[in-house]
Amino acid sequence: MAFSRNLDPRTGLFLRWPVLAAVLVALPFIGLTGYELHLLIVSAIFVILSSSLSLIMGYGGLLSLAHAAFFGIGAYTSALLFMNFKFSMWVGLPAAGIVSAIAAICVGSLFLKVRGHRFVITSLAFVEIMRLIAVNAVDLTRGQMGLPGIAAPVITIPGVGTIDFASKTAFYFLAVGGAAICVWTVARIVHSPIGWGLLALRENENLGESVGVSAFRHAMIAFVVGAFFAGIAGSLYAHYTGFVSPDLFFFSYTVTMLVMVVIGGKATILGPIVGAIAFTFLPEYLRVVAQYRLVLVGVVLLATVLAFPNGIVELWSRWLRPAFLRLRSRDHAA
Amino acid sequence: MLLDVDNIFMNFGGIAALKGISFSVPEGQVVSVIGPNGAGKTTLFNIVTGFQKPTAGQVRFAGSVVTGLLPHRIAKHGLIRTFQKTEVFPALTVMECVRIGLLNNFQPSLFSVLTGKAEVAAFVKNSVLEVADILEMVGLHSKSEYLAQELSYGEQRLLEIAVGLAARPRLLLLDEPSSGLNAEESSRFSTLVRRLQKQKITIVLVEHNMNVVMGVSDQIVVVHHGEKIAEGTPEAVSQNRDVIKAYLGREWVTDAVG
Amino acid sequence: MLDLLPQFVFNGLLIGMSYALVAIGMTMIFGIMNIANFAHGEFYMLGGCITYFIAAKLNAPYLVAVPVSVAVVTGLGFLLERVVFRQLRLKSAMSSVLATIGLGLILQNGALIFFGPQPQAIPTSFSAFPLQLGPIFTTEARLFAVAVTAATLVLMYVFLNHTLYGTAMRATFQQTEAAALVAIPIDRMRGITFALGAGLAALGGALLGAIFFVQPAMGATESLKAFIVVILGGLGSIPGSIVGGIFLGVAESLGTVVSSAYKDAIGFVLVIIIMLYRPDGLFKKS
Ligand SMILES: Nc1ncnc2c1ncn2[C@@H]1O[C@H](COP(=O)(O)OP(=O)(O)OP(=O)(O)O)[C@@H](O)[C@H]1O
Ligand SMILES: [Mg+2]
């Protein structure tokens, strides 16, 4: 299919899979510091979050502030399975995705009947309720103290040996693998007839309904698939950091994801990836302006919404790329 | 009868917009619903296509009762409408807009999309040709890469019809399709209606442009203050006293009857 | 237990009236511009922090600091309406929510840079000595806050119902197009409404800041509370916001008596139920 070669026809950015895969595999072995590897792992987890959120808000046009809720639900699912039943991540990871997806089906069957501000506010209230549950259900979650000591998994392959994912290099492959599956799934959906239906939902729900596109069905697919991957990201996070707490439900997590999606480019495949990597790495390298960081993020977010509703990826496709092509053709002419 | 509208009542708070409207549409015909502003024509369309629920009454399509179904369910029966206030998918290209209409015929499950079922690939592949055909028919083939919001008003009206056609309607309800079209676009529209008629698509038309109405209709239903005041062939209706009275003071009636 | 009831109601009233001050602005902005302003609580925060700055750092009396900080925030509101919110009017709910989240980040973290993260007490000349009024124990600062808030709410009522501007504002609120037809300058009404809303929130921050503490992080919580209030009262309804604010304040205060760990969650559950099933709020007859 077309999208296996060309990730994103709108941005005109070609990503050749073999090249990309080779780069991703080589990265941990080019002498990065442990800290840089750590940032790559965090980026990969955020790529999962932002890509799945972009499916909901970029393609489906539903501004969900509840994405952090499914992230948190996934993280707690994994953590609780580990703490109480000693289930490793191999059980916890799929369980986290499934529990988040089931939660999304329950919540979505109520919430996805309303739109606009009503949906935004409902989703915000939901994440707050989840946070309060995490804080107050002390018997289960230990409240503010959180759940520590969630170990990374170990795998023994006969003939090869034992891989301990407590090592950053090993976990890197796990996280990047998760991100790749998520991006692949999202790309697959948005370039399929389901994706056309999502665009109909975003652009003009009534017109879509009038030609047989169920707004509710498509909203639900995006919401549940998005929640599934948010749950997966939560599980990866829990087993990577070894600790979960009610802070995962903080509005600031939601804002971080939103910023990555919006500034990267809402309805693109590449945008949220670029956004997630940029907003994981930049803050670390902008230490000089550390205290102005969030102010800057706010300014950029505001400016993006007002001036570049389609994010920085569009900056590339609309201006930089044409300029680049013009330059190149001039070179050829000369 | 393909469509039976049976004794429909509609109240908005205290306002009775429809007071017991009934009429039938035979397969293959063009039936126009006319009436002065506020007569209840759009409300009638909304009820037939499930966008509003009637206070009382029933709508039957090809034998089955569709009253109370959600719009996308009704669309699946082949009952497709356009809107009075032009509706398109503004930020999508013309081609992408029309493609959405095709979803009325086939919607793959999430599972078959993720597993790459052949039928999905085949549908996607065919969609290109099918969209091209439809755009050709409405005369927008040269604009397929334009964004819907970049089109002129008249082109957007045609695009909306194209989206409806992609849904493979058995019956197409058009709400004032030629309002705001210039003379050339409006004659192109009349030609289009006749072509659709040839393709055995039944059409219900709400229209103020009497040249169009008289030119294409097999039957006319006249609605006034939420009631049907006349029904019949264009000739019969245009000579009906009640109809003339209802339209009194509106020049185009005398023109058309003239 | 029962003899403490008046005390709890009074405490709840105090908090509830401050919720109302913030919520009024938020609901007016929603009514007149169709924008859910996620940054609105930041005006409350700025009101508190600027009052602190004037009173503590510039050594001005509290009674001077309050009106000055309210004036500053009102001006800021006017400016922001011009620069930011005017552009958001015709945009989708998604764009306007994202933009106000961005603005909230700017205001909150800007305040963090300027005022620092520590909670601060606003110095006042009020006596810290408790006063007894019948069954209620209180302080001068609390009485002052209640009196000023009550007076402001009454003034707002008179302004909206008995002045030309107020009537025009309500007209714009209810029906923008009709208001334009009778030549109400819609743009100016929006500017004034926004500024007024910001000023009311700032007043809330300045008054409560003298009782509790002020810190840059307090705006975000206040935004959430105001959202609950605005939704309880019906999006766009000013009387609803006042009733809703006092209702929430008193309910929270009594909630501490009943002491349920989940009392905060109740507000959010109500919000969800109302948004899904009663979008006009709790108090409006459907
Ligand atoms: N949602 C609604 N709420 C209240 N009244 C409505 C609503 N929709 C329509 N009406 C009223 O019902 C009556 C019929 O309106 P409708 O739009 O169906 O008329 P119409 O025949 O399509 O008119 P036009 O030729 O102007 O399009 C009008 O009096 C209108 O004001
Ligand atoms: Mg109409």
Q: In what order do the strands lie in the sheet with B227-232?
A: B79-81, B171-175, B202-206, B30-34, B219-224, B227-232
Contact C275 A125 (CB under 8 A): yes
**Amino acid B214: pLDDT:** 85
Among candidate residues C237, C232, C238, C241, the one with its CA nearest the CA of residue C267: C232
SS3 for A131? helix
**Amino acid A1: pLDDT:** 36
**CA distance linking residue B70 with residue B56, whole number of Å:** 17
DSSP string, A42-68: HHHHHHHHHHHHHIIIIIS----S-HH
Strand partners, A147: A244
CB contacts, 8 Å: C227 with chain A: 121, 124
* pLDDT surpassing 90 at residue C202: yes
Distance from CA of C79 to the nearest CA of A (A): 16
With beta carbons less than 8 A apart as the criterion, state whether A77 and A232 touch. Answer: no
Across C85-113, average pLDDT: 88
Structure tokens at C274: 């109302």
Strand partners, B34: B222
Contact A255 C269 (CB under 8 A): no
- Model pLDDT for residues B160-169, shown as the tens digit of each residue: 999 999 999 9
* pLDDT surpassing 70 at residue C1: no
- Model pLDDT for residues B215-235, shown as the tens digit of each residue: 888 999 999 888 898 888 888
A89-94, Cβ contacts within 8 angstroms, sequence gap of 24 or more? A89/A152, A89/A153, A89/A165, A89/A235, A89/A239, A90/A153, A90/A155, A92/A235, A92/A238, A92/A239, A93/A232, A93/A235, A93/A236, A93/A239
Domains of chain C: 2-119+135-277 (1.10.3470)
**CA distance linking residue C227 with residue C41, whole number of Å:** 9
Residue B213: CB partners within 8 Å, gap ≥ 6? B32, B34, B205, B207, B220, B234, B256
Taking CA–CA distances from B75, the nearest residue in chain A reads A212
**Amino acid A334: pLDDT:** 46
Contact B89 A193 (CB under 8 A): no
pLDDT band of A328, cuts 50, 70, 90: low
Output the 3-class SS for chain C.
CHHHHHHHHHHHHHHHHHHHHHHHHHHHHHHHHCCCCCCHHHHHHHHHHHHHHHHHHCCCCHHHHHHHHHHHHHHHHHHHHHHHHHHHCCCCHHHHHHHHHHHHHHHHHHHHHHHCCCCECCCCCCCCCCEEECCEEECHHHHHHHHHHHHHHHHHHHHHHHCHHHHHHHHHHHCHHHHHHCCCCHHHHHHHHHHHHHHHHHHHHHHHHCCCCECCCHHHHHHHHHHHHHHHHCCCCHHHHHHHHHHHHHHHHHHHHHCCCCHHHHHHHHHHHHHHHCCCCCCCCC
Distance from CA of C278 to the nearest CA of A (A): 11
With beta carbons less than 8 A apart as the criterion, state whether B187 and B158 touch. Answer: no
Helical (H) or strand (E) element with A154: strand A154-157
Q: Is the CB of B52 under 6 A from ligand 1?
A: no
Q: Which string of b and e fits B193-216 if b means at least 16 CB within 10 Å? A: beebbeeebbbbbbbbbbbbbbeb
Structure tokens at B220: 């006319």
**Amino acid A3: pLDDT:** 38
With beta carbons less than 8 A apart as the criterion, state whether B83 and B160 touch. Answer: yes
**Amino acid A4: pLDDT:** 37
With beta carbons less than 8 A apart as the criterion, state whether B132 and B144 touch. Answer: yes
Atom of ligand 1 nearest to the CA of B36: 25
**CA distance linking residue A123 with residue A62, whole number of Å:** 10
With beta carbons less than 8 A apart as the criterion, state whether C102 and A299 touch. Answer: yes
Per-range mean pLDDT, top range of A7-11, A28-32, B171-175: B171-175
Helix axes of C93-115 and C40-52: crossing angle, nearest 10 degrees: 20
CB contacts, 8 Å: C104 with chain A: 298
Contact C224 A128 (CB under 8 A): yes
Instruction: Give how many domains chain A has, as a whole number.
Output: 1
Question: By 3-state DSSP, what share of chain A in percent is helix, strand and coil, each rounded to 5?
Answer: 75, 5, 20
Across C74-79, average pLDDT: 94
**CA distance linking residue C207 with residue C8, whole number of Å:** 19
How does DSSP classify residue B61? E
Q: Which residue has the tokens 């002020």?
A: C214
Across C216-245, average pLDDT: 87
Among candidate residues A241, A269, A263, A222, the one with its CA nearest the CA of residue A112: A222
Structure tokens at C152: 């402001």
**CA distance linking residue C212 with residue C259, whole number of Å:** 21
With beta carbons less than 8 A apart as the criterion, state whether C39 and C107 touch. Answer: yes
For A157, how many CA atoms within 13 A lie in the half-sphere containing its CB?
A: 3
- Model pLDDT for residues B32-78, shown as the tens digit of each residue: 999 888 889 999 999 999 999 999 999 999 989 999 899 999 999 99
Q: How far apart are the CA of B35 and the centre of ligand 2, in A?
A: 9
Q: How far apart are the CA of B44 and the centre of ligand 1, in A?
A: 9
**Amino acid B255: pLDDT:** 46
pLDDT band of C270, cuts 50, 70, 90: confident
Structure tokens at A143: 């409240």
With beta carbons less than 8 A apart as the criterion, state whether A12 and A20 touch. Answer: no
* pLDDT surpassing 70 at residue B86: yes
Q: How far apart are the CA of B40 and the centre of ligand 2, in A?
A: 7
Helical (H) or strand (E) element with A321: helix A321-333
**CA distance linking residue C234 with residue C284, whole number of Å:** 7
Structure tokens at C169: 């504002």
For A168, how many CA atoms within 13 A lie in the half-sphere containing its CB?
A: 16
CB contacts, 8 Å: A188 with chain B: 113-114, 116
Chain centre distance of CA B226: 19
**Amino acid A324: pLDDT:** 67
Among candidate residues B249, B208, B255, the one with its CA nearest the CA of residue B41: B208
More confident: B137 or C186: B137
SS3 for B140? coil
* pLDDT surpassing 90 at residue A311: no
**CA distance linking residue A207 with residue B88, whole number of Å:** 7
Which residue type, as a one-letter code, is found at position A303? A
Domains of chain B: 3-257 (3.40.50.300)
* pLDDT surpassing 70 at residue C286: no
Helical (H) or strand (E) element with A18: helix A17-26
* pLDDT surpassing 80 at residue C117: yes
Helical (H) or strand (E) element with B157: helix B153-166
**Amino acid C2: pLDDT:** 67
Contact A209 B71 (CB under 8 A): yes
Across A61-80, average pLDDT: 94
For residue A249, the enclosing domain spans 2-333
Q: Where are the beta strands (DSSP E) in chain B?
A: 3-12, 15-25, 30-34, 56-61, 64-65, 79-81, 171-175, 202-206, 219-224, 227-232
Tell me the average pLDDT of chain B: 88
**CA distance linking residue B49 with residue B32, whole number of Å:** 16
Per-range mean pLDDT, top range of A116-125, B96-105, B210-219: B96-105
**Amino acid A333: pLDDT:** 54
CB contacts, 8 Å: A203 with chain B: 89-92
**CA distance linking residue A22 with residue A5, whole number of Å:** 15
**Amino acid A5: pLDDT:** 39
SS3 for A218? helix
Distance from CA of B205 to the nearest CA of A (A): 16
Q: What count of CB pairs under 8 Å joins A to B?
A: 106
**CA distance linking residue B155 with residue B246, whole number of Å:** 33
**CA distance linking residue C191 with residue C82, whole number of Å:** 7
Distance from CA of A59 to the nearest CA of C (A): 13
**Amino acid B59: pLDDT:** 94
- Sign of dihedral through CA atoms C241, C245, C248, C250? negative
For B138, how many CA atoms within 13 A lie in the half-sphere containing its CB?
A: 25
